[in-house]
Structure 1
């Protein structure tokens, strides 16, 4: 019984700590938030290498508490480094605005060097944990041990989801992970020392983060000004400002510009933040406002501390939701839809390089906005545009939906935002009735070389289709570190890496990533959707294990065939057609499309894993395959998200061919 608890506890720590680092490291190391899947890949690599080393007599887990403490100290020290980004990166990262950082450290290191340091440290941190899980699993039959491993991982996801719901501070995350890790050492002589180290690590984090608020998406710091305005910084970077309109004449004029020409009537504000757009719309005479904001902490800040307290009005209804998700459900009509400088500083999911706001600025998303407009309605998009190609992309995306006749734009000074795009039937009337307004605005150019984002390629911040230079160089560096680590700790010539399970691992991560992005498109890019999806995937794996343990399947051929067919169907299925369905119909069809491939893949893994002779080698290889899948995910920047299905199918077919060849031998 105790061995079961220890295995579940170690598995809990592995996934819980992984999720904690993905949230915590970007709060202290500038720009890492835009590379969060690098942390995921590093943890998989460390766990995989640990599994491959689990047959070694040397007990590495004794070093885990000390490794955790050293890791925490190094990350906190890296907060004093100014991260530099190459000028020709071919991708926009908001930290290019160095002047918008909360403080400017004196030392400089390139982002590629920083990522190499963090990647290596996380790999080293997770190796002892992976070895311990491998050693504990050796005491059980392969499939039963794997089931306990999944169960512990599921508890880790649920627990972190609960902590996210209550916006708990980071020191609690590390206390929980560290304390459980120490419990695993309860019989060891180092138990007391390990307990002291974990307590010290928790105190260090708590003391260093006294002024940090934690939302489900960011670390948040506030800078209060003498005029009672509040600057909001997320992951150390300026995000937005709660403006005191009684004192800030420039902001008054800038936000109020659009209301000189349009009556807000019934308004929808997407990305309402601390409430600036809400206040100005109320002041302009809005009869009713639906305000949508994804981050509950930022929304709560606006409710309690915005100088004008706009959310207290009876005319305002607040929704804590993803913008795209709300538009799926909204019925309208709205006289005005305002995109309130909606720019994210985080990725949509731990497995994906898509950013949180990418699905808001696609052709299909603006079609939904068009559907919600009244006969005289107008869409107003506000944005702080950093490059010419991004302004061209936003303007052309709006034009692709509303046409040249109903699209205009104007550039302003850089304070808070520098681009306003107007579109919709109400614009045509305003232009004809107000010639002075027409003279201020510009008409979109007839042609543009910039690609328009679609739901299958939603990369607003990429200069062009393809893997940008910054990511490409980073990938080469990380692949080099990974190969070096694998050959050093687990020589391929020793036959320790199992190609079959490696392919399954790579394909499964690609499936997982595509499932998260698909369901985020359908139900919203919120942390709740992510938590539910990851929990559901682990539940499917548990169900597959239970079926394989209870039933005697003779082979995997039929399941490989079913998996292949389900992937082909998912590839060709027009997923956006589900957006028009009711909630329960959408849930049912989406669950089948996303769930069936994962379920069949989990059954294939369970059948083959059940009979494996080298458990640690198989599971270690599977995790190394997940590392491969993490690298392949970047290919969606070039080929689109649906291409992940093709890559996963290729891995599974190769695995099937390899398995048949081995069985024939």
Structure 2
């Protein structure tokens, strides 16, 4: 009997591990196929399948299916759902955004419903609930620690096959009564893998439609952050991050001719205003900016690149093609996040260059901001200013396709930078220009350039550039600012709210948010009626679910900049929160506790997080290990106390599966609401919202 129980708990850990890895891999594939925003809304909705599955465990004939059969069903349903995702033209651009998100949800929700059936059965029937919480927490923690590494080494769909094979092999070893079915499942997966059926059909990938039309993917590699593709278009090679943010690989046929150039042609960088021997490039990509700076006479170039795969490509496969640009004696390539490097460096630079530093992707589907969001905030502008030399210059350039809303988006981004400069009393030191350009492969772009000079500007402007702002003169950015502020959301970007690409007014997005919440709340109302659940219990468990996921996601966003790398935010914060959450769930079932007291403690630690997180940004810790340990320790009590009330309450319920379903619905609603609050109000407001939600739980306990 003990051996059987140990097997069941081990299976709980393995299923939890596979779930978190599956959610991460699926979110990255959705980002690649349809963009970050679609992934952000689809993933929380399909996770609502957990709640639906848990609520249906008493429905015939589902109540007669064994736990092992649920897992086998999960494997098969997962593969079929993903086949539909990568092979069918699901996203229809002529339809509404809400329609497409709902359509994706209907296709991808079934694996999560199956997992909900499994966990609903486990949480409602297992007598040792504390062990379930503990093993569940351990599995989720391992998933948080290794999901990035699985993505890096196995990619898509290799990572998917890895986690489902693990589950099937476990079933073959420990449930030999149904070994024929499990072996059949293994053979089915081997057939799908051999035929490469889960390979993405790029004819439905809209991210390549402009920059890589008629192109051919020749290299695909993965890091812990993004999928990186090299696409050949004619004689040009472009690198894509998660299917977007292209960077052209520089081609240098004769490295000996590196410095033969007329500086008057380099209007996209400010060498017409003077000499800049010491240069910092944030987002070196395919080496074009490095090449331009070398041609203009730079003597010392620090090139920051976040994506390690791009560095490997430039140093290996494209070393000769790029003329060894990444090995040039005047160039130092640094694999780091830009703000993290700036905070730690003691050097001064004559030029800081951010030229199209975009990723258009995120480290998680639950994080509503792009990886580069912190590079354009008010605090970032102040840090750039501090490390500029006396005659230094900051250049931020955005090149956007002319088609669609490109011109509007580019202007709004420049307006945000202008507002930051104005708030720092630096607007008299900046120039903003616009220019229509054509690339060598005939792509038409609009190029917006933001200059920030440390001292008085001297030089002439190119006649092809339209000046949007110049000190002491009124140009378009001043004339159009009030009009744009009425029509669009153009908030001052702060580290506490780095919504760099969010220009939609909250009034326009709110109806869409409410529609999504209604999709989730409607099943809760059905449960309330059919399950005859007390209204106070519905509010209590929904509040716990909302507060738990909102706290987790808010911490991930708030501490990302301090940790210095998105991977650490995912691994350190999430693993600490989940590990100590599992421990809290186990501990609560072995001690008598006062629910109100522990929820009050949770509210206290949550509000304390506002001051703690802000304090962390005032200290400089050069050691990454020490930063990781510090954050891991600070998050531990929050993770611990966040699960204690739920664990203690659930153990006393007769209909655990319904309460578990309500908590799951709360996590979906919490994900949507905290993303909305982070985008329009910021992380500090997110902590206040979380405190209010937990206070609501205290009122109905």
TM-score by length of 1: 0.85
Tell me which residue corresponds to 2:243. Answer: 236
Equivalent position to 1:512, from 544, 548, 552: 552
**Equivalent residues of 2:528, 2:538 under 8 A apart:** no
Distance in structure 1 (CA, Å) of the matches to 2:434 and 2:362: 28
State the shift of 1:311 in Å: 0.8
State the shift of 1:593 in Å: 5.8
Tell me which residue corresponds to 1:190. Answer: 181
Change (3 A) 1:81 1:12: closer
**Equivalent residues of 1:222, 1:232 under 8 A apart:** yes
**Equivalent residues of 1:49, 1:130 under 8 A apart:** yes
State the shift of 1:274 in Å: 1.8
Whether 1:443 aligns to 2:470 is yes
Instruction: Map 1:495-534 onto structure 2 (within 5 A).
Output: 495=532, 498-534=538-574
State the shift of 1:255 in Å: 6.8
Whether 1:274 aligns to 2:286 is yes
**Equivalent residues of 1:243, 1:307 under 8 A apart:** yes
Whether 1:310 aligns to 2:325 is yes
Tell me which residue corresponds to 1:455. Answer: 495
Tell me which residue corresponds to 1:40. Answer: 43
Distance in structure 2 (CA, Å) of the matches to 1:235 and 1:589: 31
> Aligned-pair RMSD on alpha carbons?
3.2
**Equivalent residues of 2:245, 2:358 under 8 A apart:** no
Distance in structure 1 (CA, Å) of the matches to 2:511 and 2:672: 12
State the shift of 1:202 in Å: 3.0
Tell me which residue corresponds to 1:409. Answer: 432
Secondary structure in 1 matching 2:310? helix
Distance in structure 2 (CA, Å) of the matches to 1:73 and 1:170: 12
Consecutive unaligned residues in structure 1, runs of 5 or more: 85-107, 660-665
Distance in structure 2 (CA, Å) of the matches to 1:612 and 1:213: 48
Distance in structure 2 (CA, Å) of the matches to 1:327 and 1:651: 37
**Equivalent residues of 1:10, 1:132 under 8 A apart:** no
**Equivalent residues of 2:568, 2:628 under 8 A apart:** no
Tell me which residue corresponds to 1:479. Answer: 517
Tell me which residue corresponds to 1:421. Answer: 450
**Equivalent residues of 2:496, 2:558 under 8 A apart:** no
State the shift of 1:128 in Å: 0.9
Distance in structure 2 (CA, Å) of the matches to 1:334 and 1:206: 51
TM-score by length of 2: 0.81
**Equivalent residues of 1:231, 1:238 under 8 A apart:** no
**Equivalent residues of 2:279, 2:349 under 8 A apart:** yes
Tell me which residue corresponds to 1:218. Answer: 226
State the shift of 1:191 in Å: 1.8
State the shift of 1:652 in Å: 0.7
Distance in structure 1 (CA, Å) of the matches to 2:229 and 2:145: 27
Instruction: Map 1:87-486 onto structure 2 (within 5 A).
Output: 109-137=95-123, 138-164=125-151, 166-183=152-169, 185-186=171-172, 187=175, 188=178, 189-205=180-196, 208=199, 212-227=220-235, 229-237=236-244, 239-244=246-251, 253-254=265-266, 257-304=269-316, 305=318, 307-385=322-400, 386=406, 387=408, 388-401=411-424, 403-415=426-438, 418-426=447-455, 428=456, 430-431=457-458, 434-435=459-460, 442-443=469-470, 448-449=481-482, 450-463=490-503, 466=506, 469=508, 471-472=509-510, 474-485=512-523
Change (3 A) 1:2 1:656: same
State the shift of 1:252 in Å: 11
Secondary structure in 1 matching 2:240? strand
Distance in structure 1 (CA, Å) of the matches to 2:58 and 2:659: 13
Consecutive unaligned residues in structure 2, runs of 5 or more: 1-5, 201-216, 401-405, 439-444, 472-476, 483-489
Question: Which range moves more in the overlay, 642-651 or 435-444?
Answer: 435-444
**Equivalent residues of 1:279, 1:308 under 8 A apart:** no
